[in-house]
Amino acid sequence: MEDEGYREVWVTYGTKYYSAKELTVQPGRSVTIKDAWAYGVIVTQGHGRLGKLNGLYSFDDPASAR
């Protein structure tokens, strides 16, 4: 994954009721992630698009959340 410009790490698992992953996309890189289930997104820094067909949702967070 790191060679493809991103890093994906499970941060919560071990329960059948919920799970969570951390996705980090390297600066200047673009990735397409496909998951079988619905999910929520928290953006802490950067900009991009989410969804099918060039992104249904755009986001832009210029500062890092600390």
Tens of pLDDT, residue by residue over 21-59, are 888 888 888 888 887 776 677 778 888 877 766 667 787
Q: Does the pLDDT at position 11 exceed 90?
A: no
Amino acid residing at 7: R
Confidence of residue 65 (pLDDT cuts 50, 70, 90): low
Q: Does the pLDDT at position 13 exceed 90?
A: no
Q: What is the pLDDT of residue 64?
A: 59
pTM: 0.64
